Amino acid sequence: MQTRTIAALLLLATIAWAVPSLTIAYRRDDHAAPLFDACLYPKDFRARYGLYLKQASERESYSLIDGKQNTLSLTLANFDTDSAVLAALLSGSAQVGILASEEVLGAVLKGRPVRIIAPLQRAGDLLVVNPSVPAADWKELVAWVNSRAQTTTVGYIGQYSMAALGFTQALEYENVECVSTIPGRDLTRSPESGTVLAGGLSPKPDTVKVKLVRADDRAALAAELSSGRFDAAVLQEPAATWVSALRKCRTIGRTDILPPGRFEDRPGTIIAATDSTIGTRGEDVSRFLELMAVATHYANNRTRNTLAAAYRWLGTSPRLESIPLSNMGFSSRPDVAFTAGIWNWYFALRLRNAVPRGLAGYMEEKDWLGVPYDSLLLVPALERAGARIIK
């Protein structure tokens, strides 16, 4: 009887001290490169930060070790689309997601209980043209668009694409009329003053120079470009490089930096969790955010290692990964570009009357940010990571 009692007590102690676990769902592309670094360079992370991942099953299961203590068990689940990552979060099959910011922001507009909990990657939006377009930069493209009798068709990906919204603003700045499949009403200009009118009548067909059309995914957009049905596309990396390299198209410049520049270095890929996970698993999620904070530091300072991690993890080539990685940056710190990008996205959609009535009343950036973004778990994670980086 005494032996059974001791065994039972040992079992209870084991259960009580069981390491908590999180499932991390991520979009399978190089935006998650800091996570690949953490998985592939444990010796470097241990020496530099004292926080590292110990592999249990390659690319699937890892233990988060702080010093000598096993603090968290991580299961990695990769998906081909951001919508699949979001679905995993909402279903509860994953507790943390690495996905496009617009996917989470769009879900917030629809009342889904999910929030951004940390930045990860800053986006550089690129303009890709098909081989028949005789333009080498933005100015030449605008001149070519204005000289044509027919409408120029530009593709984009994502229902609430920041890249597409920024591109429409760049066209408006150049006084080029456009229509789009972005939700809401297209903006038009007063014929008397030239000022932009929000939510009014759509531009007249004979004045429209550019039509923005949403494609289902990267493959569909590439097919439309190479066939000539799309004259150009506005894309993030690595999609821009992939389309350019495999479809003989050309990248002619960044669009996020074009005037008025409201989406320059905007939030690209972010880390997200549901309200339930934030409330019940906050300490564990904050530990993961601490790891990602030191991982972004590593990615920005050990760029050759990060390049190698990306092409090894994704099964691509150094050449195909080197270009997109040179056009993006990683950071877990919510800087001005991050918060302004979220606000400008909201404000642009509100001008289009595309924001649900219950969310359309925010007039200040600081008030709106509290809806899609929760920094509660990130702040202590950054403090702990900062101490490791300084050390």
Are 161 and 247 in a shared domain? yes
Residue 324, CB half-sphere, CA atoms under 13 Å: how many?
28
Domain assignment present for residue 260? The answer is no
Q: Fill in the DSSP letter of residue 368.
A: H
Give 8's pLDDT tier (boundaries 50, 70, 90): low
Mean pLDDT of the chain: 91
- The pTM of this model reads 0.91
3-state secondary structure of 297: helix
Q: What pLDDT does 248 receive?
A: 83
Domain assignment present for residue 9? The answer is no
Please state, in angstroms and rounded to a whole number, the distance separating the CA atoms of residues 97 and 299.
Answer: 19
Question: Where in the sequence is the domain holding 158, given as residue range(s)?
Answer: 126-254
Are 223 and 317 in a shared domain? no
Domain assignment present for residue 146? The answer is yes
Please state, in angstroms and rounded to a whole number, the distance separating the CA atoms of residues 332 and 212.
Answer: 32
Are 68 and 88 in a shared domain? yes
Decide if pLDDT at 214 tops 70. yes
Please state, in angstroms and rounded to a whole number, the distance separating the CA atoms of residues 63 and 74.
Answer: 6
- Rounded to 10 degrees, the C-alpha dihedral 161/166/170/175 comes to 60
Mean pLDDT of the 56-80 span = 97
Q: Quote the number of domains for the chain.
A: 2
Give 14's pLDDT tier (boundaries 50, 70, 90): very low
Please state, in angstroms and rounded to a whole number, the distance separating the CA atoms of residues 94 and 98.
Answer: 11
Are 276 and 179 in a shared domain? no
Tokens of 141: 């493209």
Q: Which residues pair with 74 in a beta bridge?
A: 22, 62
Total residue length of the chain: 391
Q: What is the CATH number of the domain that holds 160?
A: 3.40.190.10
- Point out the domain boundary residue: 254, 285, 303: 254
Decide if pLDDT at 189 tops 90. no
Please state, in angstroms and rounded to a whole number, the distance separating the CA atoms of residues 169 and 261.
Answer: 8
Are 237 and 287 in a shared domain? no
Are 374 and 359 in a shared domain? yes
Domain assignment present for residue 262? The answer is no
Are 116 and 168 in a shared domain? no
Q: By the 8 A CB rule, do 196 and 143 touch?
A: no
User: Is the peptide bond between 42 and the residue preceding it cis, with omega within 30 degrees of 0?
Assistant: no
- Point out the domain boundary residue: 254, 282, 300: 254
Decide if pLDDT at 191 tops 60. no
Q: By the 8 A CB rule, do 114 and 275 touch?
A: yes
Q: What is the pLDDT of residues 107-137, one digit of tens each?
A: 999 999 999 999 999 978 999 999 999 999 9
Are 23 and 48 in a shared domain? yes
Domain assignment present for residue 6? The answer is no
